[in-house]
Every structure is written in C-alpha cells, then in structure tokens.
Amino acid sequence: MPYAAGPTPACVLEPTAPVPVDPYLFGVNTLLGPIENLPFEDPALLRAASTLGAGALRWPGGSVANYWSIADGRYDDHAKSGGLGKVYADIWGPRTAWAPRGTFGPRQFWDGVGSASAGAARTGPVWVLNVFSLSPAEQLQQVEFLRQTGVPVSRVELGNEAWQYDKNLDSGKRVRRWPNGSAYMASILPVCRRVRELFPGALISVSGHHADQRWNAGLAEYADHFDAVSLHVYSPIQCDLDLLGPGLNQYSAVAAWGEHANIQTRKQLQSVLDKPIWLSEIELGDRHGCARTPFAHLRKDGAIPGIFWAGHVLAAIDSYGASTPLRALNYHLFSHQRACRAGARRDTACWGVNESLVHLPPRERSTRSPVHVNGAGQIFAHVNAVALRGHPGQQMRRVRPARGSSCDHHLSFDYVGEKRRWTHRDGFGRKVYMENRFPLTHEAGTSRCLLAAVFDSVTTPNASFVVLNRCTRGIRVSLRAAEMLRGRLPPGAQNWSLVATTYLADDPGALVGLPGDLHEDPFVFPWRTGPLSPTVNVNTELRHDELDQYTFILRAVSLTIASYSPAGDAPCEVPADLLPGGRWVWRRTTAANNEAWRNVIDARKRKLQHDQERISVKVATLENTLRDRLFSNVRLRAEKEKLKKVGKEIEIMDGAAREATEERCRGEAAQDFLFCNVQKMTPVAASPDTSAPASPPLAAASAPFSAF
C-alpha cells in the first residue's frame, strides 16, 4: 500500500459520530460440548479463545442445541428415542461420556472459555435453549437452572432453526417440528415469559426463516414476547459466483456479499415484522448440489473467509442506526477438533474442518499438541483487537466520503455465466430444486467500492480505521483522523505512529500454530508468524497536522487496518525480526543488521527443508500404499500440495537471503518504494502488484520515511 503522490485526487474518508462498540457484532458460533470434548477450562481452549478475542460466544451453537441439556451437560435422554436427536446422540454422545454430568454446563462454560477472550462482553454469551426435545416442564427448568448457576444472562435464543425438518416417530416421515411460526411461538410462549420473569433485562430472540416469510408472519402474531429474530446466512455458493466468470470478480462478490445480505435480509423481514436481526450463523455457502465448494483451494486456510466476515461486520456497523438493524453477528465456526471422528463413515467426522477459525487438539493430547489457526482466524483476531480489547469506553463509528471528495468508485459486475437449475438431496433426503443466482442488484452500479468503520476510545489516544476495498482495482484514499484525534496526545508526546496492515483476498494462507505457541505475543499485530502474509507499512514520525495529508493506495479486494497511536506507544508493533512469508518479504534496511537477518532466514530455511524431507517420505509411503489400495488418492494429492507449498517458500527464503547479503540500501528513487533508514523496516515485493494503479517514485524530502 504505497504512498500516492501526484495530481490524481484521492477519495477522502471521514468518521461520523461515535456510538458504544457492540461486542455482539464480533461473535462466533461454537460446538464445544455437544461435539468437541475439550473441558471448558482446558489450557489449549483458553489460549484459542483469548487469541481470537471474540466479543461473544454462542453456546451451544448449531442444530445440536435442540437436543442438548444444559443442566446435565450432555444430550437429552428424550432426544435419543428417534429422529435427528438420536443421530447426533449416537454419533457424538459417547465423546462426552467420560465426563461427569455437569462438566459441560453453563457455569463451567462461562468460567472457562466463555469469558477467556479479552474482548468478551461482560454481559455474557448468547445462550441457546433447547425447546425441541425437552418436555415443557424441563424447558422452564433450564431457565431456572441458568439463574441458579449465577451466570450473566443478557441474550437468549429459543431453539436453533426451529423450522427445520425432523423424523416423526409415529409415521416415520420427515416433518417439521412445528408446522408454522405461529405454532412454534405458542409452544415456546411459557419459556419467553419465564425468561422475562427471571431475567427482566435479557433480550430474547426466536428462530426466523431467511426466505419463508409465511413462517415469519406467524412470529409477528407474538411480537410483544420477544426482542429479535435469529437468521442464518450460508451463501454464496460456487454456482452463484460462476455467473461472474473467473478471477477477481468472484473475490469482489464475496467481499460485497455482507452488505447484500444485510440489505436483503432487513428488507424481507420488514415486510412482515419490524424487529432487530441476529445473524447467529454466517459462512460461505457449501456445495448444495453445485459442482464445487466456493474457493475450495483457499477456503480452509486462506484470507477469503475473513474478508467475507469483515464485509458482514462493516455492513452491520454501517447500518447500525437503521430500521430493523443487525444486533448480533456470529461467524460459523469457532473451532474444529482434530482427529474428531465418531465412526467409520465420512459424514460422522466432526463439523468445521473447512469453516473453523482454529483447530483444537484431541482431548488425549491437548497438553502436548499445538492449537492451529488459519487465515480467517488471523483477520478475525486483528479486527477484534482494534475494536474491543483492553480499553473501557471503546467506540465505533461509521465512515463516509467527505463532502466534495472524489469517491465515485462503485461496484460493477458483468454476468458472463449461464443460469442453471439442478436438484440435490438435503440432509433429510428431500429433493430440493435450486438455481444459481447473483442478486446483487442493489450494489451493482450504486454501492461504493469502499466500506469502512473506525474504532477509538474515550479513555485512550488510540484509533483504527478498518477499510474494505471490494473493487477489482486499487483506489487512492485519504483518511481524516486529525479532528477525531485532536487533543488526545499525552503530555510529552509530539508525533503520531501509524501502522497499516493490508490483507489480500487471494492470500492462500496456511494452518499454523497460535502465535503464543510459537513464542510470539499474540496481542501484538500484525502477527509475524501468522498464516497470512500481509503488507505492513510503518510511519512513527507523523505530526498532527500531517495526519490528513497522507494518501494510501488500497489494493484490489483487500482489507486494510490503519492504527494510530502516540509515537513510542504503538499498540500494533512491527518486530525487528519478522519472518519472511508468502507474497511479501521483510528485510532490515541497513547493512549492519544484514548478518542477523540472514541468520533468521537460514534458521527458517532449515526448518522448511526438514519439513520438505518429512513430507517427501510421507508422499512416498502413500504412493506405495495407494498401489495396495489402502488409501484414496485424495490424501496423496493433499500431501503433494503441501510439498509444493514448502518448496515455494524455500525459494522465497533463497531470495530473501540474497537480499540480506547486499551491503547497500536500495535507492530512494527505486520503483519498489523502499527507503534507507536505520530505524525502519520496509517490505520487499516478491512479485509485482498489478492490482494497484501505478504511482511515481517517492521523494524522501516531501514524505520522509513514509511507505504509504
């Protein structure tokens, strides 16, 4: 993200009036207990929750909540008699059989993982109550049980996807638990009243349907008894994206999908019911009969799910004061537990291998095995850090183009694919007719490329812009921070420090250990050993009158986090020994440090060569066993991809080593925008960036030490 000089005017973004930050917009869905069997106080689990810094956890999340007893901490006995509850209890119930009753209860959850995050709302998680398999009396007892345990209760969901189908025990047919929304509300009305009685300040959300407005109309008959409607968004699917052709257009569509889902969901619900919305599960779509999963090659470890999530969060903040606003947002999914398989069938593997933010170790090896995080987890943690962590009085602000600025950049999509219709069998064996669609009609030609928010505090002098460029070309932007930060420099401080981190949507990422497990402070951003390879630019000598004068080039389909703090007190440091990685390679810009830097590179290269040897042996073994038909070739292909990835990183190390042996600094007028300075670090592009518009060389006299 180089500094842009020249006559081309920039789009100027300025923050609006603040509102208190809402931690429930930074939530995550969890399957801890019903599927994943680490105790809630397990150190590995606590490290993962603390590192990600979510504002709230939703527990127990997913369809398993409809058959889980929070009082017993295991599957409800009634659920085991048939239907989907029996399927879940038979598959995953034995995984928690080792624990005494109550081990996986609400008190243990809140005292452990539920409150471990530095950004966790002190008002508690989102509690999902079982109104499916429990008897009416037991449904009321679980509300009383929450009161007895003394956990904070401010958000309650009554069931998960109450409109879903299950097996009728008498006829054996697949039927809805309740035929319509009105029947569902009549059934849970006593629970609503008991929650109101025991927790007068708690908000109650009921299960809405994202497309069936007849179901939602039934909810409207009982609108006085609840406060919000819970909906789930699992889109787009790959067939939707195929309408746009290959390339950056698809990344752009995913980045824009959050605003589209926000607008369409609010518009549809407003037609029958004017209540706040809780998007309690959001994730990229799955196959659903389509040939491929969206971005299958990037989805598990790369940045694109994080870009997708950030688009939802920024859209929720942008429309926070609108009618029918979003008041909760949960990414699906917090974690996947490795080696979690309850049977021989493929469909009994535990959920979340491609959707989760972190991968947890098996219970038997939790003290010896690391926790792994992917690219989406890195983006999730970084955004949460600037939005929530550590400071009372945290605020969030919408961002708007300044009056008179040149912000005429809008999304535009060309539909080049063909419409398709197909059928597929859902999880209950029903035939469902589907078609690919891309209804981004609101955004096309009218919605801005840039979506942004600002997070600051009334008690500290720190502020961070989070800017999502959803377009397929670079954009020149200036950020108006001077007025917001006026008078906030502490006594003795004269300058501001600015750290800007840019994550690209096409970064393939990796699955790596948590920074804390790799002897790195997980609360210092950007992570130097993280799964992604962002560009990082630092300026530690900005005068207050210079804050509004710097112009950024936001790269195509990227997320940029620009953090301001008093010089010398940066909340987001750039360590001196950043490891090389991916698209961009860090190097010190003085000859005196080249030898130390070369030692870091050599150590990393030795580790990669060791991995290369280990994977090569594994590939050879798999090739032998494949001849004996003991394994499918899917596993072999995966190992070969790992081998190729390690080989490419070794090539990057070799290039960085050559750079480190140079004893001269690159010229100040070089086209790669590097500067010579003893106290600065600058990124070296491993490959040219073709997405951003060309800019003239920087002039040290006009912008000293700036790499923006």
pLDDT along the chain (708 residues), means of 10: 49 96 97 95 95 96 94 87 82 88 95 91 96 95 97 97 73 77 97 98 96 94 97 85 79 91 90 95 74 67 95 97 94 91 56 90 87 96 91 89 84 61 47 51 62 93 96 93 93 91 93 87 89 89 90 94 83 38 31 47 68 76 61 67 75 60 36 27 35 31 25
DSSP 546: G
Cis peptide before 236 (omega within 30 of 0): yes
Contact 178, 158 (CB under 8 A): no
Distance between CA atoms of 501 and 565, rounded to whole angstroms? Answer: 14
SS3 of the chain: helix, strand, coil, percent, to 5: 35, 20, 45
Residues contacting residue 45 through CB under 8 Å, at least 6 positions apart: 32, 38, 39, 112, 113, 116, 335, 360, 366
Distance between CA atoms of 129 and 142, rounded to whole angstroms? Answer: 8
How much is the pLDDT for 365?
Answer: 86
The two three-digit tokens of residue 213, written as one number: 């407005």
The two three-digit tokens of residue 438, written as one number: 């891309």
Contact 84, 151 (CB under 8 A): no
User: 443 in helix, strand or coil?
Assistant: coil
DSSP 675: -
Residue 448, beta-bridge partner list: 410
Residue 364 CB-half CA count within 13 A: 5
Distance between CA atoms of 280 and 25, rounded to whole angstroms? Answer: 10
The two three-digit tokens of residue 320, written as one number: 């926070």
The two three-digit tokens of residue 88, written as one number: 């879940």
For the chain, what's the residue count? 708
Residues contacting residue 359 through CB under 8 Å, at least 6 positions apart: 335, 336, 337, 338, 371, 372, 373, 374, 511
The type of residue at 219 is L
Closest CA relative to residue 165, chosen from 355, 427, 462, 442: 427
pTM (global) more than 0.85: no
How much is the pLDDT for 569?
Answer: 59
How much is the pLDDT for 118?
Answer: 78
Concatenated DSSP letters for 320-371?
TTSSS-EEEEEES-SEEETT-BSSSSGGGBPS-TTT-SEEEPPGGGTTTSPP
By the 10 Å C-beta count (0-12 exposed, 13-18 middle, 19+ buried), 392 is classed as exposed
User: 49 in helix, strand or coil?
Assistant: helix
Residues contacting residue 153 through CB under 8 Å, at least 6 positions apart: 124, 127, 146, 147, 199, 202
Distance between CA atoms of 662 and 443, rounded to whole angstroms? Answer: 49
By the 10 Å C-beta count (0-12 exposed, 13-18 middle, 19+ buried), 216 is classed as buried
How much is the pLDDT for 657?
Answer: 57
DSSP 3: B
How much is the pLDDT for 406?
Answer: 79
Structural class in CATH, domain 22-392: alpha beta
Q: Which residue has the tokens 């991916």?
A: 582
How much is the pLDDT for 336?
Answer: 93
Residue 496, beta-bridge partner list: 542, 566
Closest CA relative to residue 397, chosen from 118, 10, 121, 22: 22
How much is the pLDDT for 184?
Answer: 97
Residue 395, beta-bridge partner list: 20, 456
User: 166 in helix, strand or coil?
Assistant: strand
How much is the pLDDT for 691?
Answer: 39
User: 157 in helix, strand or coil?
Assistant: strand
Contact 475, 467 (CB under 8 A): no
